[in-house]
Structure 1
Amino acid sequence: MLSLFTRVGIGYQVCLNLASRGCRVIIADKDDSEKSKNRIIALTQNPNIISKYLDLSSFKSVRDFADDFKGTEGRLDILVNNAGISVSSLKPTEDGLDLLMQVNYLGPFLLTHLLIDLLKKSAPSRIVFTSSCLAFLGDLKSNDVYFTTSNSCSSFTTLNSYSNSKLATLIASDIFAKKLKYTGVTSNSLHPGLVLTNIFKALKKIENTGSISEMFFNICHFFFGKSIWEGAQTTTHLAVCEDLDGVTGEYFWDCRRFVKPRRAYDEEMCQKIWELSENHAKLLPHEKI
């Protein structure tokens, strides 16, 4: 079994779990993941772990990675899109888009499209998208404002952008599920829980609100939070649980199916967001599904 996922933290724990089950694992990350790879090999005695470079803020990097992957790997059983950042930038990416939206959503959206044929070839196979409970705060509408860089990096606009990126992720997972029906490829999304990872620590750097936001988060995490290992369990569950064979288009919390945000049920709006995403990700006609 081969799995591909991005970023560390929860991703590292998912990788460790899959490697301990004997999976061949490709770690795709912008940061150097050689130390993570070597530690996983040492802990699991599974030498079939590979690290590759992938910068989701660059569509060129995504395409280069996909081309390399398809040229070296014969199958893809599990694609886990787990990358995420919590703070954007006033400066747009090289593709002219909002950094947070591109890393959290459009980069994985493009990558999944580019690897669809390999997933179909490897069927039954699975796509797993990491969303968030903050998707319930998302206010996506069918226009472009959510994909371009904001003129503010306030804590409010950051929360709004993050929530929208996670709502878009959930919507995309659902549409992938519909479009891939009967192919043997399933797509599901999840909320990992309130996990103390570095993604939220970056929020304390915004507008000197760090002490307040950090204290609030630490209090919430003390009463309701999970360790990184615990936060990886729903992702691992969606990747390997045999009871989920054929299950697709669902949203999970704590390894259980959960109701989706209201906007995810607006089919017309979701379709427009999908079409905008195709345009912004610069998908070629033959790459669309």
Structure 2
Amino acid sequence: MQTRISVTTFSLKQSQMPFRGFSMVSDEGYFGSLSVPLFGVLTCASIYFLRRHLKGAQFTEHVGAKGKIALVTGASAGIGKQTALELNLRGATVYMLCRDRTKSQNARIELTKLGCDPTKLVLKDVDLASFATIRKFADEIKYGHFLLTELLLPLIKKSANGRIINVSSSLHKTADNVDTSIVNNKKHFNISMPYSRSKLAQVMHARELTRRLRTKDPGTTVTINAVHPGVCFTELMRYTIFSQKYIKYIISPLLWFFMKTDKDGAQTTLYVALSKNVEAISGRYFGECKEHTPSLYSLDDAKCNILYNQSLEAVKLLE
């Protein structure tokens, strides 16, 4: 015996409709449709929650930074500038380490307009590609990435709960090697590798420096961690195909929607710099305001030790 399912169809005249904008018409082979207004609301809500998700985790702890001194590299733009803003608004004196004096001056003016205390925004000319400017700055502040940290370690050790944060990237997981015999060999050059390798080195630096600090002084309160800010729509884009005029105007809105802003990208850095939840945690890798597992390569202590010694030798600090 066959079972038949019957669908009752009906229609109402427009004057009989309880309200407009909603179709109650039903028939075999047809589906009822949502009203245009309701569809619009659902679409807007979906876009809003998607964008909110793409913004990533936000640092919401009410932690002040009054009396603290923060050194922020690349503070004239992007995530560095946003980090300087957030730290200064919380009371910290921020040393803005930039290579372009005009750009850093303009950044300070903009930050002041956003509510920062200009007397606590100190501009310093430091080009991380120039060891000379790093040494000059380090000497000025009392006795710049690796060399700056090394030269300032004595001062940081004297501070209560000094924190060092390396801004790395999840792309460190794509790096194949950081051994200088490979990295500096033209035969092994790969256009996609330099950035990933530099970010891998920053994760390994945090791990190895932690080991060395705690070996010498188990009670040290100095911490160093690496963070992944997320995929951000920052000035880095000016060096890519997206910086081209016509592509920029077409693609920028999409990039803005799917990528983090400078403010969003600074949240994990702020979390690791200020949160009480990570006060004694060191040598780790963070993303979205929580600890993440880095690449297996970065967890190799022997390789971390070799890289650290090679770095000391490169900046002429090897004992």
TM-score scaled by length of structure 1: 0.76
Q: Is the 8 A contact 1:201 1:214 kept in 2?
A: no
Match of 1:57? Answer: 129
Residue 147 of structure 1 and its aligned partner are, at CA, apart by 4.5
Q: Aligned partners of 2:272, 2:178: CA distance in 1, in Å?
A: 29
Letter in structure 1 aligned against 2:227: L
Q: Secondary structure at the match of 2:128?
A: coil
Match of 2:23? Answer: none
CA distances 1:40-98 after superposition (whole Å, capped 9, x unpaired):
23322423111110011111111111001117xxxxxxxxxxxxxxxxxxxxxxxxxxx
Match of 2:95? Answer: 26
Q: CA RMSD in A?
A: 2.9
2:115 corresponds to which of 44, 51, 54: 44
1:178 corresponds to which of 198, 201, 211: 211
1:7-156 maps to which residues of 2 (within 5 A)? Answer: 7=74, 8-32=77-101, 33-46=104-117, 47-70=119-142, 108-147=145-184, 150=186
Label 1:204 to 1:243 Cα distance change in 2 as closer, same or farther (>3 A): same
Range 138-147 or range 171-180, more displaced: 138-147
Residue 219 of structure 1 and its aligned partner are, at CA, apart by 9.5
Match of 1:251? Answer: 285
Matched, 1:166 2:175: no
Q: Secondary structure at the match of 2:191?
A: helix
Q: Is the 8 A contact 1:123 1:183 kept in 2?
A: no
Label 1:147 to 1:122 Cα distance change in 2 as closer, same or farther (>3 A): farther
Label 1:62 to 1:248 Cα distance change in 2 as closer, same or farther (>3 A): same
Q: Secondary structure at the match of 1:44?
A: coil
CA distances 1:156-201 after superposition (whole Å, capped 9, x unpaired):
8332111001001110011112222232100010110000112133
Residue 282 of structure 1 and its aligned partner are, at CA, apart by 1.3
Matched, 1:4 2:37: no
Letter in structure 2 aligned against 1:173: A
Q: Aligned partners of 2:112, 2:253: CA distance in 1, in Å?
A: 35
Q: Secondary structure at the match of 2:114?
A: helix
Unmatched runs of 5 consecutive residues or more in structure 1: 72-106
Q: Secondary structure at the match of 2:97?
A: strand
Residue 124 of structure 1 and its aligned partner are, at CA, apart by 1.2
Q: Aligned partners of 1:234, 1:259: CA distance in 2, in Å?
A: 15
Q: Secondary structure at the match of 1:187?
A: strand
1:189 corresponds to which of 220, 223, 226: 226
Unmatched runs of 5 consecutive residues or more in structure 2: 1-67
Q: Aligned partners of 1:167, 1:11: CA distance in 2, in Å?
A: 19
Displaced runs of 4 or more, over 3 A:
217-224
Label 1:114 to 1:141 Cα distance change in 2 as closer, same or farther (>3 A): closer
Q: Aligned partners of 2:125, 2:86: CA distance in 1, in Å?
A: 21
Label 1:157 to 1:184 Cα distance change in 2 as closer, same or farther (>3 A): same
Larger-gyration structure (1/2): 2
Match of 1:273? Answer: 307
2:267 corresponds to which of 233, 238, 251: 233
1:157 corresponds to which of 190, 198, 204: 190
Q: Aligned partners of 2:221, 2:166: CA distance in 1, in Å?
A: 17
The aligned length equals 243
Letter in structure 1 aligned against 2:148: L
